[in-house]
Structure 1
Amino acid sequence: MQERAERELKEKSVTVRRGQGERSMAALIRGSRNLLPRWNKHVAPTFGPSRSMASKTPVGFIGLGNMGRPMAKNLLRNGYPVIATDVFPESRKELQDLGAQVFDTPADVAEKADRILTMLPSSPNVIEVYTGANGILKKVKKGTLLIDSSTIDPAVSREMAVAAEKMGAVFMDAPVSGGVGAASLAKLTFMVGGPKEEYQAAQELLTCMGANVVYCGAVGTGQAAKICNNMLLAIGMIGTAETMNLGIRLGLDPKLLAQILNMSSGRCWSSDSYNPVPGVMEGVPSGNNYQGGFGTTLMAKDLGLAQSTATNTKTPVPLGSLAHQIYRVMCARGYANKDFSSVFQFLREEEGQ
């Protein structure tokens, strides 16, 4: 009995070693990035060098704005050495103080890292960062994995994928949903488009920054999912602002009205998690004069992308079109840098005119 048990244990050990060897060889063929250990969500958040950092290769990060900065911080928290850059020196300095290496240009980052994430405001910014005079593709290494988490035109994502492929690199689009709060807490949702065989390598990094990572299909499908989501978000926020304003005008206490909505069929994310009325919720932009969060100008940009795509595909989106017009007017009326939930304040001010 004992001899049989020892023989079975020995056979299992050989099988495991053989399986590990096969997986390691396959990973080497795909690139060293797939050999890295997966992130453990239960590791306590810490910054600076750690024992585990030595086993993880550097990750480049370009774009350290309201969203990119906390995302890069979460990579640091999970032991990844970060090589970063941003057009604003103060943003670079903050990451440098937390242990990141900082450089002046995207090309410099590409020279140092074979996995790079970008988080940029718009399509022109993405085109410049990837293909400009000091862009990533000027010094990108063959086999580099490029992940763009900006929200841009799906057609631009496909163009960047073609350009990257010519340089021997792989481009994937992975726009996010969740806002600054979710970025800080590593609870973003990533919508990923690109080669399916590279999805696991992308997922490894994205799970350091998000709670949900969803594969959508070919390059550009992540962007398609994101602009659909943001169109609905804008429509929902406008509807919530109008509803709350009407209730207040009818004499209802806004907190009571929000409570009723959130236990009824009108409940939505804009009412229960991001209420646009000052004083109804804590920790949201409406409670801080609409500072921080997701800017009105960015919402107008995303709605423009949805409108353009709808036009190209001959898809009727009447409410999406109206939402786009409202946010464009808001930008012209001084709301560009306020959070998009400031549509409530905009409606109130329109009443007085």
Structure 2
Amino acid sequence: MSPLFRVEDSPNHGVLTLTACLDGGLPWFHNVWYSMRIGFVGLGNMGSRMADSLIKDGYEVAVHDINHDVMKMFSDKGILTEDSPLKVAETSDVVITMLPSSNHVLDVYTGQNGFLSGFNPLRPWLFIDSSTIDPQTSRKVSAAVSNCSLIDKKDGRKPPAMLDAPVSGGVLAAENGTLTFMVGGPEEAYTAAKHLFLSMGKNTIYCGGSGNGATAKICNNLAMAIGMLGVSEAFALGQSLGIAASTLTKIFNSSSARCWSRYPLQPGTEELL
């Protein structure tokens, strides 16, 4: 089967050359500069910085959040703000969400004034959810998206696609555009969206089918949590036997115990990192 999309490099990430193909290999459009409107819903500590990265990279972005202060912050910068997720979807080609929980994701996609609450068909050809949620919810929402059709159905375009693409790296990586994306969903959609991921991060890893990105994030968080527990126990043991925390910090940071999860456990010792 021919790919749904083929992405070619461009001088500006914000304007992509997409060669989109039918099953028979015939292009929907060929070597056309395609300027995409990106919708972004969820402008918290992570989402606001991810949206900023897209804006800095030249994408045209429309945003929504229930926090009016952060909406005003984007509006004051000349960014289009919409009063509901549905309005974002109605004006966007690709929609990205970064939300606190599975329930928030379900509400933004399928709730009142959610992406899918309007009349089918949809304008966006791709939905990307970067929230850290359970894979079952990711698969449920992906199935709901795939049951919709596109407004622009010319040339036999397929239904809209969804990628679950949680991130690792925290607020600092979101600020610096160095996030790692773990992505599940159709591989051709992942390939088409890779420029977006690389605008917000430096690593993007395809994990397989729908829900696999969410699964990878849970596995990553589990491994990190186990590491944090181990570091905490080691600090407690060392101090109980008379070693200062600052001494243990120096040892851990210059030996095999060095790990990412140690850093936030010892505020005030950043100079030792």
Query: What band does the TM-score fall into relative to the shorter chain?
Result: 0.7 to 0.9
Equivalent-residue separation in structure 2 for 1:134 and 1:245 (angstroms): 50
For the pair shown, the structure with the greater C-alpha radius of gyration is 1
In structure 1, how many angstroms separate the alpha carbons of the residues matched to 2:122 and 2:272?
Answer: 42
Percent sequence identity over aligned pairs: 47
Of 91, 110, 123 in structure 1, the residue corresponding to residue 89 of structure 2 is: 110
For residues 46-61 of structure 1, what are the structure 2 equivalents within 5 Å? Answer: 56-61=35-40
In 2: Cα distance, 1:138 partner to 1:127 partner: 11
Deviation readout 1:192-247 (Å, 9 max, x if unpaired): 00111111222111111111000000010001100000011112112212222332
Query: Larger strand proportion, structure 1 or 2?
Result: 2
Q: Is contact 2:129–2:163 with CA below 8 Å preserved after alignment? A: yes
Q: 1:173 aligns with which of 164, 169, 179?
A: 164
Match of 2:114 in 1: 135
Is 1:202 the counterpart of 2:193? The answer is: yes
Question: Deviations for 1:89-140, whole angstroms, at most 9, x for unmatched residues?
Answer: 1121122223321011000000000100000011110000000110011246
Give the structure with the higher percent helix: 1
Q: Which moved more, 1:143-152 or 1:105-114?
A: 143-152
Distance 1:116 1:200 in 2: 16
- Ranked by relative contact order (alpha carbons within 8 Å, sequence separation 6 or more), the top structure is 2
Kindly report the root-mean-square deviation, in angstroms, between the aligned alpha carbons of the 2 structures. Answer: 2.5
The offset of 1:31, in angstroms, is 6.9
Q: Against the structure 1 CA distance between its residues 127 and 275, is the aligned structure 2 distance closer, same or farther, given a 3 Å change threshold?
A: closer
For the 8 Å contact 2:86–2:117, the answer to whether it is kept is: yes
Aligned twin of 1:145: 126
Aligned with 2:41 (options 49, 62, 68): 62
- Greater shift after overlay, 177-186 or 253-262? 253-262
Q: Distance in 1 between matches of 2:208 and 2:193?
A: 13
* 1:323 aligned residue: none
Q: Which portions of structure 1, spanning 4 or more consecutive aligned residues, are displaced by more than 6 angstroms?
A: none
CA distance 1:234–1:68, shift in 2 (3 Å): same
Alignment partner of 1:172: what SS?
strand
Please report how far the alpha carbon of residue 253 of structure 1 lies from its aligned counterpart in structure 2 after TM superposition.
Answer: 3.1
How many residue pairs get matched? 241
Q: Distance in 2 between matches of 1:283 and 1:264?
A: 13
TM-score (normalizing by structure 2): 0.81
1:154 to 111, 119, 135: 135
1:219 to 188, 196, 210: 210
In structure 2, the CA distance between the partners of 1:171 and 1:201, relative to structure 1 (3 Å rule), is same
Q: Show the counterpart of 2:224.
A: 233
Which residues of structure 2 form unaligned runs of 5+? 1-16, 150-159
Structure-2 separation of matches of 1:125 and 1:244: 37
For the pair 1:192 / 2:183, whether they are aligned, the reply is yes
Picking from 243, 255, 261, the partner of 1:270 is 261
1:283 CA drift (Å): 11
For structure 1, list consecutive stretches of 5 or more residues without a partner in the other structure. Answer: 1-23, 37-54, 285-353
Alpha-carbon separation, structure 1, partners of 2:79 and 2:268: 38
Kept after mapping to 2: 8 A contact 1:128/1:135: yes
The 1:26/1:275 distance shift into structure 2, 3 A limit, reads closer
